Structure 1
Amino acid sequence: MFNLIDNTLVFASYGNIFGLSNITISPMDIVLAYLVAILISIIVAFALKIPLLPSKPYRYSFDVSAIYPTPIISMGVFSIFLVLNYTFMYNGLVLAVIIGILSALFVKYLFDFVFPKPLNEDERDEINE
């Protein structure tokens, strides 16, 4: 995993392997943009009234929360843009804000449609009968 992060930092900061990028970004700018994406996604999730933690028991809960999967989705989408060498404006900070907002909206309104919750044992028995 850390090798993937290291490769992302190297490719995004020095241009891609084909030399198509004419803008270089420092690794600190990339880390700052990741932090902005994470913080914005959590703040917008709170504004949309997504709970901080899932319901108990945490281990078997499939409820969405502000801590998981909201920042994970924003980091993943932002990584895709960095690997594609698209940072938009201000070294990726504006893109990080946009992705943070969109990831919180995705988790609030579309996450259950894209990734449905598994059926519990009672619902499985009713379907099998």
Structure 2
Amino acid sequence: MFDLVDSTIFFASYGNVFGLSNITISSFDILLAYIVTIIVAVLVALALKIPLLPGKPYRYSFDVSAIYPTPIIAIGIFSIFLVLNYTFMYNGLVLAVVIGVLSALFVKYLFDFVFPKPLNEDNGEDIDE
């Protein structure tokens, strides 16, 4: 498993296959940017009053929280930018902060519109806890 993670980070830091980019960043910079993205997304989500954990029972809860899906969306969007070889300034740290803030705002205000809660099987209404 660690070989897969290491090779993935190495490939993302190596540069574009087609030679469209002559600037590469190191594996440490990529890991640092991912960590910054996760921390900023969680902190901004907590500042926006998103709960840290979803409602109980955790397994069947469709509530958004600061732990899930906020950082997952943030690192997914940041990964797309890394694959496209766009890191902006300071080896991707500024982009990591911007994506962390925007993903927290997305989860707070738009997540329920894009991904609605499933219908209750008993009476055909949305599940509200």
Compute the TM-score of the two structures, normalised by the length of structure 1: 0.90
Structure 1 stretches of 4+ with a deviation exceeding 3 A read 1-8
Deviation at 1:2, TM superposition (A): 6.5
Q: CA–CA distance in 1 between the matches of 2:7 and 2:40?
A: 25
Q: Which amino acid aligns with 2:50?
A: I
Q: CA–CA distance in 2 between the matches of 1:43 and 1:68?
A: 13
Structure 2 gaps of 5+ residues are none
Percentage identity across aligned positions? Answer: 79
Deviation at 1:17, TM superposition (A): 0.7
Contact 1:33 1:96 in 2 (8 A): yes
Q: CA–CA distance in 2 between the matches of 1:124 and 1:12?
A: 46
Contact 1:8 1:83 in 2 (8 A): no
Cα deviations across residues 31-61 of structure 1 (Å, max 9, x unaligned)?
0000000000000000000000000000000
Contact 1:37 1:97 in 2 (8 A): yes
The structure where helix makes up a greater share of residues is 1
Contact 1:41 1:74 in 2 (8 A): yes
The equivalent residue for 2:70 is 70
Deviation at 1:14, TM superposition (A): 1.4
Deviation at 1:23, TM superposition (A): 0.9
Contact 1:41 1:103 in 2 (8 A): yes
Q: Which amino acid aligns with 1:39?
A: I
**Cα pair distance change 1:87/1:35, threshold 3 Å:** same
Q: CA–CA distance in 1 between the matches of 2:91 and 2:4?
A: 20
Compute the TM-score of the two structures, normalised by the length of structure 2: 0.90
Task: Note if 1:106 corresponds to 2:122.
Answer: no
Q: CA–CA distance in 1 between the matches of 2:56 and 2:116?
A: 19
**Cα pair distance change 1:122/1:53, threshold 3 Å:** same
Q: Which amino acid aligns with 1:81?
A: F
Task: Note if 1:36 corresponds to 2:39.
Answer: no
What is the RMSD of the two structures over their aligned residues, measured on CA atoms? Answer: 1.8
The equivalent residue for 2:46 is 46
The equivalent residue for 1:86 is 86
**Counterparts of 1:6-25 in structure 2 under 5 Å?**
6-25=6-25
Q: CA–CA distance in 2 between the matches of 1:9 and 1:88?
A: 18
Structure 1 gaps of 5+ residues are none
